[in-house]
Amino acid sequence: MTGKRLADTVALVTGASSGIGWATARALAAEGATVAVFGRRLARLEELVDVIERDGGRAHAHEVDVTDGATVARSVQAIADEFGRIDILVNNAGFLANAPAVEADLADWHRTIDVNIGGVLNVTHAALPLVVRAGERERGVADIVTVSSVGGRRVPGPSSNVYAASKHAVGAFTEALRQELATRRVRVGVVEPGVVRTEMTTGGSKGAPDATTGAPLDPADIASAIVYMVTRPAHAAVNEILIRPTEQVI
């Protein structure tokens, strides 16, 4: 017995090369999960694997663009071949490109939809049989957690247009999936952060949220929320967590 709450589980985290995904992979590994990490930057993923292994955890890197369904399917099959299941799926990969509609680049709109909606669909569709299988094991439950946004509950400002639309879509898909899988011992939930200090909000993507006040959240704050969700007793499902910086108004 290791005493770790996620011992003998297998987790998949997308968008793990930085930010929330990186922090979540480390947090799940620290609780005993073997973590498969997906991302487009293989060197960063390999660095993450090294960090996790130095801390005594186990991780595997997969270079994956979640918008490429064929690559997603191959990488998920590799997990199936090695482990036979996925106990915890964290859909985290995202793209942010806020701009007024009259100034927007249409390619950014399409990229937002492709990553924020298409990526979630690609990964969930490929992983779902393995997640359902995990729910039938002795742990008695499996988890799907998708990282959305406060923009998935309300439109935070006019320039959030397509980003907010994509996150509303994620919320609807998540709720439908929750209803479908509840009787199959699969908990489905969504985390809706406010402003988080990541590459996406500090220069890695175009644009930042429309209105913020005070210090942003850290990726570790979101990782802690995800760990909380997936470590509840098997009879309890936390389906939604909204988490903002204390001084964020919207």
pLDDT in tens, 69-127: 999 999 999 999 999 999 999 999 999 999 999 999 999 999 999 999 999 999 999 99
Q: Distance (Å, rounded) from C-alpha 80 to C-alpha 112?
A: 29
* Mean pLDDT, each 10-residue run in order, the chain (250 residues): 87 98 99 99 98 98 98 98 98 96 96 98 99 96 98 92 97 98 98 87 51 81 99 98 93
Q: What is the pLDDT of residue 20?
A: 98
Q: What is the pLDDT of residue 250?
A: 84
Domains of the chain: residue spans and CATH: 8-241 (3.40.50.720)
Q: What is the pLDDT of residue 206?
A: 52
Q: What is the pLDDT of residue 66?
A: 99
Q: Distance (Å, rounded) from C-alpha 42 to C-alpha 141?
A: 31
Closest alpha carbon to 243 in 231, 233, 226, 230: 226
Catalytic residues: 163
Q: What is the pLDDT of residue 213?
A: 59
DSSP the chain: ----TTTT-EEEESSTTSHHHHHHHHHHHHTT-EEEEEES-HHHHHHHHHHHHHTT-EEEEEE--TT-HHHHHHHHHHHHHHHS--SEEEE-----B---GGG--HHHHHHHHIIIIIIHHHHHHHHHHHHHHHHTSTT--EEEEEE--GGGTS---GGGHHHHHHHHHHHHHHHHHHHHHGGGTEEEEEEEE--B-STTTTTSSB---S---SPPBPHHHHHHHHHHHHTS-TT----EEEE--TT---
Closest alpha carbon to 101 in 164, 29, 40, 159: 159
DSSP 68-94: -HHHHHHHHHHHHHHHS--SEEEE---
